[in-house]
Structure 1
Amino acid sequence: MKNKALIVKICGALLLIFAAMPGWGSCKRTSAAQTEDSRTAIIPFGKINLTDEYFVPYGSLLGSVVVPPTNYTYGGANGSTVLWECDEADLSNIYFLVATNGDDRVGGYYDIGGSDGLTDVYATWFAHVGIRQTMAGVTLTRYWQKVPVTSWNKTSDGKIQIRLQDIPPLQAEIFRVTDLPGTAAASYYCGNNNYDGSGIAYGSSTGKTYTCTQPNSYIQLSGDSTVSFAFAHDLPGEDSARYFDFWGVDNGFGYGMRSQNAIYSVPTCVARSADPVVMLPTISVPELENGGGASSTFSVQVECSDSAKSGVGDTQTAMGIQVSEGAYSAAKSLGLVNSSGGVSALVSDNYYSPDMAKGVGITLAHSDNPGQALTLVGQPGIATMTPGGNNAGWYPVLLGATKAGSVKSGYTYYTYSFIATLKKLNGQTVTPGKVHATAYVLVKMQ
C-alpha cells in the first residue's frame, strides 16, 4: 500500500509540473490601462486643513478616503472595462503588484513618518503632509508587493478577463508629519521643494490646490515565471525607485492627488467625545405601525477655537453625523439617500441579516427641536471640495451648542444634546428583530 500511495503522489507532482510549463498560457493587456501622470485614479481628500498644532499635533490623522478602482476613468473606463486577459490555467500564478511611485521625491521615495511614530507614510507635495496607502490588507511601500486577483470574468473560450472592477479599493490616509523629504530621489518632477503654505495666512479662507501630477502609487499585473506575458512587468520585492518595467508598456495605472485636493490653515473645531452607546427602549411592531416611536438622548462634546467660523459655507466649520458604510448601502436600496448623498434615517449596519428588524430606521434631532430631523452624512461624505450644506448632512457647528467652559485661552468647549428615535420607515412593512446601527460624529471645515 505504501508503494502505491507513493506512485500516486509522484504522478500528481508530474502533472502539476507539466501544467505549469511556460508557453501553455499567456496574458495580454488591452489599451485601457495607461500609466501616464495625468491619467491617474484620483485620491480625493478634498480640503486639507493644517490648523493650529493644539488641535492637530504632528502625527495626527488629517483625512481618510476609500478610492474605488472606478476612480480611474481615462478613455471612458468604467467598472466593466477589461484591462487584462489571461488563460484560466494561469489564475493561480498571476497577481497584482502595488507600490508607491518610488522614484519620485514626492511620489513615494521618502518614508517620512518615523519622527512621529508612523510607518509607511510617504511624502506628498504638500509640506508636512504624508500619505499611507493600503490595498486588500497590504500597506504600500517602495517595494513591489503582491495583491491577489480574487475576481474576474470568465469567457466561453477558457479565458479570464480582469476588469477595472476586479481591482480592490485603495484606502488612503494623510497625516501631519514633522519631517520634509530630502533631495536624493532620482526624480523631482515637481521640484526639490514642497509647497509649504507660504502666502496662506492662518485664518485666511484662501487655499492652495495640489497641482503636482506625480502619482502617489501604482498597480500592475504580474505573475510567476511559469506564465507567459505579452507585456513587461516587475517582480515582487523589487524597489519601485529602480524597477518600473511596467510603466513604459502601460501595464496598469497610477493613483494620485493631482486634483480635488487643496491645503488650508483655518481656525476650526474638533469633536472631543460622544456617548459611545445609545440604548433604545423595546417597542412592539403594532406600536411602530401605528406611528409610535422609541427614543433616547445622547450627548456630544466639541472644542472650538474662538476664531472659528460656524457655518456650512466655504471654509466655515460644520458638524455632521455620518452613517456607517453598511447602513449607507442599505439606505440606498431603501430610497433613503438624496441627490447630495445625505441620508434621511439611520438603519442597521447589517440591515438585511435575518435577525435584524426590517422597515425601521433611526432619526436624529437636537433635543430642543425634536420635530426637526437632521439629514445624516453619507459615504464617503467628507472628501469634497464644495460644501454640501444641510442636504448633505452638514450643519453649523454651533447649532444647538451650549458653552461648557474652557481649558485653554482662546478655545471653548461646547456640549450638544441629541435625541434618537426609532420609527417606521415610510412605505415599508415593519418586521420584528434587533436594531444595531453605527454613526460617527464629524466636525470639519467645509
Structure 2
Amino acid sequence: MGASWGGVGDGDVKGKLGLPGVITLSNGTGFQSEGTLLGSAAASFVPNGRTQGVTANQIMFRCTVSEIGQVYEYYATNGDDYWGGMVDVPGIDGAYYTYVKNVAVRLTNLKTGEYYSRYWKARAIPESEMFNDGTYIYIPASAFSDVFVELFRVDDSARGVDGSNRYTYPYAGPAGYIAFHGGGMSSGLFEGADSRTNYSGWGAAQWPGGWTLTSQTVFVRGAACRVNDYPAIVRLPPTSVGELISGGSSQAPFSISVECETGRCPARRRPPA
C-alpha cells in the first residue's frame, strides 16, 4: 500500500512509547541510586514510529531488484542534540543524558538486540521482509525495527536542564532515529559514523521514523517514602461466623517499617468540597 509521507522533523516522531504516565524522582540518591530503572516500555514501529502512524504494509521505499542484499536500516541516537543522544552516561552502557536532570534514556533495537548509540549502527533488511515484483523491491513499514525504551536515574545533576517538581517534557528534540540506506538514499551513512555530524539523507526525507520523549510522561520530583520491612502474611486467630455476626473480631499484631526522605514534596491541589 502506498501513502505519502515526509521526513522526520521534531514533530514527526511523536508516536506513543507506552511509558508510565507518571515517573517519580526522589530528592536524594539514597532511595534511587545511580542506575535505578525509573520506567520502561516497548514500542512498535507500526504504528508508533511516526506521529501520524504507519501501517504494516505501507510502502516506505522502492528500489530495483539489483539492490537486494544492499538495503539497510540504520539507527542512532540524535547525536547533534545535547539532550537527545550526544552525551553518554559513564557506567550505564548505551544510556544518554536527557533534558531532565537525573534522567537518562536508553534505546534498544528489538531486531538486533543492540543499544542505539551516537555512532550509527546498521541492520541488513532481508528479502523476506520486503516485496518483490521481479523489477522492483518494496520496503514496507513492517521491515523497520521496534524499540525498547528505558529511563534511568543518574546522579550527575549538572547534566540536564529541568529540575522542577513537575515536568511534562515539552522539549522537542528526538531521542533516536531510523534511516534507510539503499538505492542511493542516505548514501553517506556508514557503520560507526558519528550522528552528531553525519545525518546523510535526513534533509531529503530518506529517514522513515524515530523516537522521542516529548510529552510521553510526567516527571514528578520530591521527597519519597519506601517500605523497608513488612510481613508477607499476617495470620489471624480462628473465629466463628457467629462471633463475627455478634460483633466479635480476630486480631494479630504486626509491624511495618517505613522510611521517608526529608524535603518538600510537590504541591497537590485539594479538590473543592
How far residue 242 of structure 1 moved from its aligned partner, in angstroms, is: 0.7
How far residue 219 of structure 1 moved from its aligned partner, in angstroms, is: 0.6
Aligned to 1:333: none
Is this contact kept in 2: 1:138–1:147, CA < 8 A? no
Q: Could you give the per-residue CA deviations for residues 293-316 of structure 1, whole angstroms, max 9, x where no partner exists? A: xxxxxx969xxxxxxxxxxxxxxx
> 2:204 matched to 1:249?
yes
Matches of 1:73 and 1:149, distance apart in 2: 19
Aligned to 1:359: none
> 2:177 matched to 1:218?
yes
Tell me the amino acid that sits aligned with residue 256 of structure 2.
G
Q: Identify which of 238, 261, 270 aligns with 2:217.
A: 261
Is this contact kept in 1: 2:132–2:138, CA < 8 A? yes
Alignment of 1:38-117 (within 5 A): 38-40=11-13, 41-45=15-19, 46-51=21-26, 53-69=29-45, 70-75=47-52, 77-112=54-89, 114=90, 117=91
RMSD, aligned CA: 3.0
Normalization by structure 1: what TM-score? 0.47
SS at match of 2:203: helix
> 2:189 matched to 1:234?
yes
Aligned to 2:9: 36
Matches of 1:272 and 1:245, distance apart in 2: 55
How far residue 145 of structure 1 moved from its aligned partner, in angstroms, is: 0.6
Matches of 1:270 and 1:88, distance apart in 2: 61
Aligned to 1:325: none
Structure-2 change in CA distance of 1:91 and 1:142 (3 Å): same
> Which of structures 1 and 2 has the bigger CA Rg?
1
Q: Identify which of 105, 113, 122 aligns with 1:137.
A: 113
Q: Could you give the per-residue CA deviations for residues 56-95 of structure 1, whole angstroms, max 9, x where no partner exists? A: 2222111111111021344553222211122333221221
How far residue 118 of structure 1 moved from its aligned partner, in angstroms, is: 1.3
Is this contact kept in 2: 1:33–1:83, CA < 8 A? no
Alignment of 1:4-403 (within 5 A): 31-40=4-13, 41-45=15-19, 46-51=21-26, 53-69=29-45, 70-75=47-52, 77-112=54-89, 114=90, 117-135=91-109, 136-150=112-126, 151-180=128-157, 194-197=161-164, 200=165, 207-223=166-182, 228-229=183-184, 232-252=187-207, 253-265=209-221, 267=224, 269=226
Matches of 1:270 and 1:232, distance apart in 2: 55
Structure-2 change in CA distance of 1:249 and 1:131 (3 Å): same
Is this contact kept in 1: 2:73–2:181, CA < 8 A? yes
Structure-2 change in CA distance of 1:268 and 1:32 (3 Å): farther
Which gives a bigger RCO, structure 1 or 2 (Cα 8 Å, sep 6+)? 2
Matches of 2:115 and 2:53, distance apart in 1: 29
Please list every run of 5 or more consecutive structure 2 residues that lacks an aligned counterpart in the other structure: 234-252, 262-273
Normalization by structure 2: what TM-score? 0.74
Tell me the amino acid that sits aligned with residue 108 of structure 2.
T
More off after superposition, 145-154 vs 251-260: 145-154
SS at match of 1:99: strand
Aligned to 1:17: none
Structure-2 change in CA distance of 1:102 and 1:73 (3 Å): closer
Matches of 1:244 and 1:217, distance apart in 2: 12
> 2:261 matched to 1:405?
no
Is this contact kept in 2: 1:221–1:233, CA < 8 A? no
Is this contact kept in 1: 2:50–2:210, CA < 8 A? no
Is this contact kept in 1: 2:107–2:148, CA < 8 A? yes
Structure-2 change in CA distance of 1:55 and 1:99 (3 Å): same
Tell me the amino acid that sits aligned with residue 123 of structure 1.
Y
SS at match of 1:83: strand
Task: Say which structure is richer in helix.
Answer: 1
Structure-2 change in CA distance of 1:73 and 1:144 (3 Å): closer
Tell me the amino acid that sits aligned with residue 405 of structure 1.
I
Please list every run of 5 or more consecutive structure 1 residues that lacks an aligned counterpart in the other structure: 1-28, 183-192, 201-206, 274-298, 302-401, 412-446
